[in-house]
Amino acid sequence: GNSVTQMEGPVTLSEEAFLTINCTYTATGYPSLFWYVQYPGEGLQLLLKATKADDKGSNKGFEATYRKETTSFHLEKGSVQVSDSAVYFCALSDRDDKIIFGKGTRLHILP
Amino acid sequence: KAGVTQTPRYLIKTRGQQVTLSCSPISGHRSVSWYQQTPGQGLQFLFEYFSETQRNKGNFPGRFSGRQFSNSRSEMNVSTLELGDSALYLCASSLAGSPYHYEQYFGPGTRLTVT
């Protein structure tokens, strides 16, 4: 079945550091891929998405590229801010329309 | 435009009781999905309703059920509560019943504690 594996957290970085959160997936078809972010006390918000191979999703300085050859969708940001502290979820949706989430990676940014 | 609202935000129940959670989607959204979030299992899909019909279902026991009304509002019911049902229950709505194509908007969740 479909699955998503993302790096364990927590990840702690200093402000302005470069961020990478790894995400790999297993899917039988050609899924859409997503990154969601959950701030403390809130629900999830869609951060970015990519619907086909080689697509790059981007939003708020975050980027992720759909790599079919490595079945990966790593999240990157060039310079993180304290306000980026949150839990980040990688997810996929296949044509059965269910969304499968990774377990989440907690990110702490130190001022 | 108002976001997805969930009521109540917090709930404490005892084992064996039942509980009903409510979700009001964004106006115009016809699809509502429910998720259970726990530290151990992460986010797990419960079910999705579209136009008052259950379109998709996750791997949860029959104690978990839901329904959707004609105004797209949805309720989720858990009967015979167990300690392991303690979780954050998230509701998400989207324009159409296809997360493959459409963005899902999440509510803040209902925190259920079973004692």
Question: Which DSSP string corresponds to B29-60?
Answer: --EEEEEEEETTTEEEEEEEEETTEEEEE-S-
Please indicate whether, in this complex, the C-beta atoms of B90 and A43 are within 8 angstroms of each other.
Answer: yes
Please indicate whether, in this complex, the C-beta atoms of B98 and A97 are within 8 angstroms of each other.
Answer: yes
pLDDT of residue B97: 62
Run of H or E including B49:
strand B42-50
* Local confidence pLDDT in tens for the 115 residues of chain B: 679 999 999 999 999 999 999 999 999 999 999 999 998 888 999 999 999 999 889 999 999 999 999 999 999 999 999 999 999 999 999 887 666 667 889 999 999 999 9
Please indicate whether, in this complex, the C-beta atoms of B101 and A32 are within 8 angstroms of each other.
Answer: yes
- The three-state secondary structure class of A8 is coil
Does B98 contact chain A (CB < 8 Å)? yes
Please indicate whether, in this complex, the C-beta atoms of B100 and A97 are within 8 angstroms of each other.
Answer: yes
**How many whole angstroms separate alpha carbon B22 and alpha carbon B32?**
11
pLDDT of residue B39: 87
Task: Name which of B84, B69, B89 is nearest B20 in CA terms.
Answer: B89
Distance from CA of B61 to the nearest CA of A (A): 17
Interface residue ranges in chain A relative to chain B, Cβ cutoff 8 Å:
31-32, 36, 41-46, 49, 51, 89, 93-104
Distance from CA of B30 to the nearest CA of A (A): 15
Q: Which of A94, A97, A102 sits opposite B97 (nearest CB)?
A: A97
The residue written with tokens 């108002």 in the block is B2
Q: Pairing mode, if any, of strands B53-57 and B42-50? A: antiparallel
Distance from CA of A2 to the nearest CA of B (A): 13
Q: Which of B43, B48, B101 sits opposite A101 (nearest CB)?
A: B43
Nearest CA in chain B to A42: B108
Contact between residue A1 and residue A98 where contact means Cβ atoms under 8 Å apart: no
pLDDT of residue A23: 98
Take residue B1 and report the two structure tokens written for it. Answer: 């435009």
CB atoms within 10 A of CB B23: 27
CB atoms within 10 A of CB A15: 13
Contact between residue A26 and residue A20 where contact means Cβ atoms under 8 Å apart: no
The strand pairing partners of A108, in sequence order, are A12
The strand pairing partners of A7, in sequence order, are none
**How many whole angstroms separate alpha carbon A15 and alpha carbon A81?**
5
Task: Name which of B42, B58, B20, B41 is nearest A38 in CA terms.
Answer: B42
**How many whole angstroms separate alpha carbon B88 and alpha carbon B66?**
16
Take residue A29 and report the two structure tokens written for it. Answer: 């078809």
Q: Which of A32, A43, A94 sits opposite B107 (nearest CB)?
A: A43
Please indicate whether, in this complex, the C-beta atoms of A101 and B42 are within 8 angstroms of each other.
Answer: yes
Take residue A79 and report the two structure tokens written for it. Answer: 């310079």
**How many whole angstroms separate alpha carbon B14 and alpha carbon A57?**
44
Q: Which of A41, A43, A97 sits opposite B56 (nearest CB)?
A: A97
Low-confidence residues in chain A, pLDDT < 50? none
CB atoms within 10 A of CB B11: 15
Nearest CA in chain B to A6: B42
Take residue B70 and report the two structure tokens written for it. Answer: 């004609």
